[in-house]
Amino acid sequence: MFAVGGTVLGLALVGGVVAAAMTLSGGDDDKKAGPGTSGGPSAATFAPEKPTFRPAPTVPAPPPARAVLADPALDTAPFTVESLFPNQKFTVNGRQYSVAAGKLDNTCSDGTDAKLGAAARDRQCTQLIRLAVIGPNGVVSTAGVASFPSEDKAAAVKNGKDGGELLPLAGPGVKVLDAKKQKHGKLRNSVGRYGLFTLDWYADGKDPVGDDKTMAQAQDDVDKFLWNSLTARGEAISKQIDDENRRKALEQIQG
* Distance of alpha carbon 186 from alpha carbon 160, whole angstroms: 14
What does the alpha-carbon distance between residue 255 and residue 238 come to, in Å, rounded to a whole number? 26
Residue 141's Cβ-count burial label (10 Å; 0-12, 13-18, 19+) is buried
Distance, CA of 101 to CA of 133 (rounded, Å): 7
pLDDT reported for residue 185: 94
Q: What share of the chain is helix, strand, coil (3-state, %, to 5)?
A: 45, 20, 35
pLDDT for 89: 96
Q: What is the pTM of this model?
A: 0.77
pLDDT at res. 98: 98
pLDDT for 58 equals 86
42-45: long-range contacts at Cβ-Cβ below 8 A with a sequence spacing of 24 or more?
A: none
Nearest in space to 219 (alpha carbons), one of 172, 182, 185, 176: 185
Q: C-alpha distances in angstroms, 123 versus 80, 155, 235, 243?
A: 21, 10, 26, 34
Q: Which residues, 6+ apart, have CB-to-CB distance to 189 below 8 Å?
A: 158, 195, 196, 197, 223, 226, 227
User: Domains along the chain?
Assistant: 77-245 (3.40.1000)
Residues in contact with 38: Cβ distance below 8 Å, sequence separation at least 6, in sequence order? 30
Phi (first) and psi of residue 142, to 5 degrees: -105, 120
**For every one of its 255 residues, what pLDDT tens digit does the chain have, with 9 covering 90 and above?**
233 344 333 433 334 433 433 343 444 444 444 444 445 555 555 556 666 666 777 888 999 999 999 999 999 999 999 999 999 999 999 999 999 999 999 899 999 999 999 999 999 999 999 999 999 999 999 999 999 999 999 999 999 888 999 999 999 999 999 988 899 999 999 999 999 999 999 999 999 988 899 999 999 999 999 999 999 999 999 999 999 999 998 888 886
